[in-house]
Structure 1
Amino acid sequence: MAESLAAAKLALRDQLLTARRRRGLAALGEDARSLAGVVLAAPEVRRAATVACYVSVGSEPGTGPLLAALHGAGRRVLLPVLLPDGDLDWAPYTGDAGLAPARRGLLEPVAAPLGVDAVAGADVVLVPGLAVSPSGLRMGRGGGSYDRALARVPLGTFTCCLLHDDEVGLTVPAEPHDRAVTAAATPTRVVRFG
């Protein structure tokens, strides 16, 4: 059972990553701007004082315009710092000049980390993923970093996975450690679950 579930996850990840690699650079840039507008219009984000987010890489839905807008509006933005054990610490975003290259091709803040529990203090938690099911079950890249982080977030917090339009509402194989999100945002809409 566990082996067939792992195989199903691997196959779906490969399919989704292949589709992402086919997206053109111009479309990714346009989608990033649209995604920022959609996320910023969400009532939960408009009310938030602290937002946990991340710096997108490659063909992920772009977060650059979103981070700039949140920071420019005076929101406190927390970004993840990948720890050697795969867990996530969090540090404040101070602008693009405060980011440095890190392991796995990531950009991370150079500001002092606040601890793994800092994510629990965010009003909104925006996470990456590859797909979300109709019930909000999120599929990541398989490292479990965000499942651990989401386990620290208090119930009732707006947790939202940022995706491309065709990655919402898919059947996602689930394991006991997998964490659901309360919403998914794409360049065209916010879908709420539950």
Structure 2
Amino acid sequence: MRHGGRADDPDKRRLRRELLAVRSGLPAGDVREAAAELARRALGLPELAQARTVAAYVSVGSEPGTLALLDALRARGVRVLLPVLLPDNNLDWGVYDGPDSLTRVQHGGRMALLEPAGARLGQEAVTAADAVLLPGLAVDARGMRLGRGGGSYDRVLARLERAGAHPALVVLLYDSEVVERVPEEAHDRPVHAVVTPSGVRRFG
């Protein structure tokens, strides 16, 4: 994978492989149980309690589950934005109107993603979010996030920075994915909090 023309860090690639292997071995029951606990804890975050617009994503496979959280946010009257992956790995956005508003999209040889089927709001729509839920594979003690390597969310974070937008940045992970240190590159930015089934940890 590449970001901004640079080859991805080999230490990141190795750590990604290890973390994905652990995730893929999780029993479905554990994934469901963790999703319910993640939603409960995330809904208690002041950053989400006060948010009018939250940019999030739909979990797939054994990722820490987000659907219960998306539905709970929507039930609160929060406007939930979901990403639409573009061919260049940038993200467009659409509004989440419940499970029936999602469509399964196959992106090349990669895993199919659930994306909003409605109107596209443009890449800048994320700059209106009060909080952004970022997918990730790990977060370290400094709040540095390890993503999947496609660079989509690095671009989102750069877009927020250019717009002068400062939403709360939150990652949902399993407990074992909060690690001592992840490899860091110049473009990486720390998050504000990580939510796991056992609790919330804040940074900075």
Normalised-by-shorter TM-score class: over 0.9
What is aligned with 2:59?
Answer: 56
Q: Which runs of 5+ in 1 are unaligned?
A: none
TM-score in terms of structure 2 length: 0.90
1:134 aligned partner, one-letter code: A
| 2:9 aligned counterpart, secondary structure | helix
Q: Is 1:145 aligned to residue 152 of structure 2?
A: yes
TM-score in terms of structure 1 length: 0.94
2:143 aligned partner, one-letter code: G
- Would the aligned equivalents of 1:21 and 1:59 in 2 still touch at CA under 8 Å? yes
Structure 1 residue ranges, 4+ long, deviating more than 3 angstroms after superposition: none
- Would the aligned equivalents of 2:138 and 2:177 in 1 still touch at CA under 8 Å? yes
- Would the aligned equivalents of 1:151 and 1:179 in 2 still touch at CA under 8 Å? no
Aligned pair count reads: 192
Q: Which moves more between the two structures, 131-140 or 172-181?
A: 172-181
In 2: Cα distance, 1:14 partner to 1:101 partner: 25
What is aligned with 1:22?
Answer: 25
Q: Which moves more between the two structures, 74-83 or 160-169?
A: 160-169
Q: CA deviation at 1:111?
A: 1.1
Q: Is 1:161 aligned to residue 168 of structure 2?
A: no
Q: CA deviation at 1:68?
A: 1.0
Q: Percent identity?
A: 52
2:168 aligned partner, one-letter code: F
CA RMSD of aligned residues (A): 1.4
Judged with a 3 Å threshold, the aligned counterparts in structure 2 of structure 1 residues 155 and 191 are, in CA distance, closer, same or farther, namely farther
1:12 aligned partner, one-letter code: L
What is aligned with 2:124?
Answer: 117
Residue 106 (structure 1) aligned to one of 107, 113, 123: 113
1:159 aligned partner, one-letter code: L
Please identify which structure carries the higher helix content. 1
| 2:62 aligned counterpart, secondary structure | coil
What is aligned with 2:180?
Answer: 170
What is aligned with 1:95?
Answer: 98
What is aligned with 1:67?
Answer: 70
Q: CA deviation at 1:155?
A: 5.4
